[in-house]
Amino acid sequence: MQGFDPDFGDASANGFFSLVTEVPAGSGFQDVIDLGGLGADQLSLTFAGASWTPANADVGLLTFLDGGLVSWSIAADPADGVSFLVWPDFQIACALNGCSFDYTTPRSPSLGIFEGRLSNTSVSIDPVASTPEPSTLLLCATGMAALLRRRTAHGSI
């Protein structure tokens, strides 16, 4: 990505994030949980003299259409976006029509929020085998045993 401001106008950065989450069947979205984000398990971004990790940034939105990811966002404050009064601050939002990258510099209180350009993005969705949790298996087994016992008590199996 690349910004166009007087302080960091020619700066560039690489970054990534990873989030382990359930992909909804069909369409749907997952939005900021408890105003703190969705809980990225990995996040790394360095830009304009600031470093971002899961300790100070998070995924704020995932939107799925027919099982495919069609939009996402990461930000320093996923619930509130970017504030020109906060340095450092950033938000990246991507959708089918492209991505936007907004960020602040130490001079943002007087010059405003700056917009950068994402030159390359890549999304990978790894299918995960659906394995029932042990408590789910126990609940199903208990239910089946009760059903079997009830049918046996009534003489019909």
Q: What sign does the dihedral 149-151-156-157 (CA atoms) show?
A: negative
Average pLDDT over residues 20-34: 66
Contact 101, 116 (CB under 8 A): yes
Contacts 24+ apart (CB under 8 A), 91-99: 91/60, 92/1, 92/118, 93/61, 94/118, 94/121, 95/63, 95/70, 95/71, 96/70, 96/71
Average pLDDT over residues 97-124: 85
Q: Which residues of 104-138 are buried (b: 16+ CB within 10 A; e: fewer)?
A: bbeebeeeebbebeeeeeeeeeeeeeeeeeeeeee
Q: Please give the residue that has the higher pLDDT: either 105 or 32.
A: 105
Structural tokens at position 67 = 């099982």
Q: Which residue has the tokens 């008590």?
A: 153
Across the chain, mean pLDDT equals 74
Q: What is the pLDDT of residues 121-142, one digit of tens each?
A: 777 766 654 444 444 444 444 4
The predicted pLDDT at position 62 comes to 84
User: Smallest Cα–Cα separation from 77: which of 95, 94, 91?
Assistant: 91
Whole-structure pTM value: 0.71
Q: Please give the residue that has the higher pLDDT: either 124 or 52.
A: 52
Residue 104 is inside which H or E element, if any?
Answer: none
Q: What is the pLDDT of residues 54-95, one digit of tens each?
A: 999 998 888 888 777 888 889 999 888 899 999 899 999 988
Angle ∠(91,96,100) on CA atoms, nearest 5: 25
